[in-house]
Amino acid sequence: MVFSSLIFLVVFLPATLLIYYILPDRFRNLCLLAVSLIFYSWGEPIYILLMLFSILLNYISGILITRTDPQSTAKRRALLISAIVINVGLLFVFKYADFTIGTYNLLFGKHIELLNIALPIGISFYTFQAMSYVIDVYRKEVKGNKNIINFAAYITMFPQLIAGPIVRYKTVESELRERKCTLDDFYQGIIRFTVGLGKKVLIANNIAVIFKEIAGTSPDKLSTSMAWLAVLAFTLQIYFDFSGYSDMAIGMGRMLGFHFLENFDYPYESKSITEFWRRWHISLSTWFREYVYYPLGGNRKGIKRQLINILIVWTLTGLWHGASWNFVLWGFYYAVILILEKLFLKKVLDKIPNIFGRLYTIIAFVIGWAIFALDDISYRTGFVKALLFQAKQGILDKHTAYLLISFGVLIVIAIIGSTSIPKRLSELLLSKKPTLRRVFELLFVAVVMTVSIAFIVSDSYNPFLYFRF
């Protein structure tokens, strides 16, 4: 599914766009829905039934809530709760049932058999997207969409279907009804898509080799430098992998006439973890803030309640990423840091030079990615010891030197590319030279697209990391 899905996006996107542009406006959402269902069912046809059920459930819920008398608060709330319970229930069965059973068996010495249900790709994304719609209808921020084709097109929209960003209905409501596909939108969309494709195929896939090789090394053979190189590689891989998919989704949406909100804003330039989470996976952070943190009371009920709310939100954020204790630990890790920043640390960071804030933030999120990436407890313990200069192989080793020589140029390119330096440099050199800028952009698209397709066809392919969520 994962390999063929990228082939679909790269090879079949032109044909899809051609049909889409030829059709009259009133048939474009139907075309988008059909292509999205084909795309999703490409490798997992059975789970198309689950998606159709989700569409029907949330479509009916939105209509019923809209039609219910606004004064009937209890009835509207019951409809909302029912929709949320069913949505969360489906997510629980497919994503968390075995995790819950396994944890129960471990704690109480039981031997209940696991369900071993395959995880539908992207279920967390489209479930959260659907729930945001029903909640916004309940809040009267939008009205229930009577056109089931338009609503289904929103839920299944193939550009961001399986790895986000999470698109809230109210941001595309008007474009679902009517949108214009301009030449400038298509041009900007193809550039953005190409940027994302290059991030994934040329940078993320290649730098993943470092982490895979080192992560396969037993802890007693790790050196400190090797452990830190592995974490650095994963830090760069996950950024280019996920921001690359988001760029591709935003670019494809633009080509179809949709304007999705940004999902990344150079998070590795942040000066605090609070700022980092305003810049990383913005759509998920926004979702939890709007639909969990604020309903719990946010910061309106005193500092103690606020700290509890942060802990709840980040425990759920960790679990959202996967049914594994390393994700729970990862969420708790960030909850502790954010609580410390809320209590006093952020005030300290605001007073010291930015360089120290950036250094602290880099160390914090790099350690966070180590927790995120390593799901084996015994291995993680040995790995952390290596990070803390307690490796059995010492600080330096020849294998790390070999990897640095082999991948050094790519690592430097990735580090620079994860910052706003390339963007600022291009604006400085090309902003006042529109013709030269256009030539550069067209050359960029031609070269990156050609090389990326060559890599996809001839090389082993690494799936998008966020497909499993």
Question: Is it the case that residue 284 has pLDDT exceeding 80?
Answer: yes
| pLDDT value at residue 359 | 95
Position of tokens 């909640």? 135
Let me know whether 139 and 196 are in one domain.
no
Note the pTM of the prediction, 2 decimals: 0.92
The tally of CA atoms less than 13 A away on the side-chain side of residue 239 is: 26
| pLDDT value at residue 1 | 45
Mean pLDDT calculated for residue range 304-318: 94
CA–CA separation, 370 vs 387, rounded Å?
10
Percent of the chain past pLDDT 90, that is, above it, reads 59
Per-residue pLDDT reduced to its tens digit, 110-149: 888 888 888 888 889 999 999 999 999 999 999 999 999 9
Q: Output the average pLDDT for the chain.
A: 88
Percent of the chain past pLDDT 70, that is, above it, reads 94
Largest CA distance in the chain: 72
Question: Is it the case that residue 307 has pLDDT exceeding 90?
Answer: yes
Per-residue pLDDT reduced to its tens digit, 265-277: 999 999 999 999 9
The tally of CA atoms less than 13 A away on the side-chain side of residue 1 is: 18
Let me know whether 138 and 24 are in one domain.
yes
Token pair, residue 273, equals 């973890």
Per-residue pLDDT reduced to its tens digit, 26-44: 899 999 999 888 888 876 7
Q: How confident is the model at residue 191 (pLDDT cuts 50, 70, 90)?
A: very high
Asked whether 162 and 467 are in contact (CB, 8 A), the reply is: yes
Closest CA to 227 of 107, 391, 9: 391
Let me know whether 268 and 357 are in one domain.
yes
Let me know whether 220 and 136 are in one domain.
no
Let me know whether 199 and 54 are in one domain.
no
Position of tokens 């982490």? 211
Q: Of how many residues is the chain composed?
A: 469
Domain boundary among 179, 194, 210: 179
Domain boundary among 179, 207, 224: 179
Closest CA to 324 of 377, 379, 401, 288: 377
Asked whether 67 and 55 are in contact (CB, 8 A), the reply is: no
What is the DSSP-derived secondary structure letter of residue 147? -
193-202, 358-367, 377-386, 412-421: the lowest-pLDDT one: 377-386
Mean pLDDT calculated for residue range 309-333: 92
Let me know whether 146 and 201 are in one domain.
no
Helix, strand and coil percent figures for the chain, each rounded to 5: 75, 0, 25
Point out the catalytic residue in the list 259, 281, 321, 399. 321
Domain boundary among 155, 179, 203: 179
CA–CA separation, 342 vs 59, rounded Å?
39
Residue 47 CB neighbour total at 10 angstroms: 19
Question: Is it the case that residue 403 has pLDDT exceeding 60?
Answer: yes
Let me know whether 106 and 205 are in one domain.
no
Q: Is 321 a catalytic residue?
A: yes
| pLDDT value at residue 398 | 85
Q: Which residue has the higher pLDDT, 133 or 391?
A: 133
Let me know whether 141 and 62 are in one domain.
yes
Q: How confident is the model at residue 204 (pLDDT cuts 50, 70, 90)?
A: very high
| pLDDT value at residue 458 | 73
Residue 70 CB neighbour total at 10 angstroms: 9
CA–CA separation, 258 vs 253, rounded Å?
5
Q: What are the phi and psi torsion angles at 24 (to 5°)?
A: -60, 155
Q: Which secondary structure element, helix H or strand E, spans residue 401, and what is its range?
A: helix 398-417
Q: What are the phi and psi torsion angles at 217 (to 5°)?
A: -90, 135
Let me know whether 230 and 146 are in one domain.
no
Let me know whether 175 and 189 are in one domain.
no
Mean pLDDT calculated for residue range 184-213: 93
> How many domains does the chain divide into?
2
User: Within its chain, how far is the Cα of 116 from the centroid?
Assistant: 25
User: Within its chain, how far is the Cα of 305 from the centroid?
Assistant: 28
Let me know whether 216 and 166 are in one domain.
no
Let me know whether 103 and 226 are in one domain.
no
CA–CA separation, 417 vs 367, rounded Å?
21
**Residue 173, exposed/middle/buried by CB under 10 A (0-12, 13-18, 19+)?**
middle
Domain that holds residue 116: 2-179
What is the DSSP-derived secondary structure letter of residue 167? -
Q: Which residue has the higher pLDDT, 40 or 228?
A: 228
CA–CA separation, 135 vs 149, rounded Å?
20
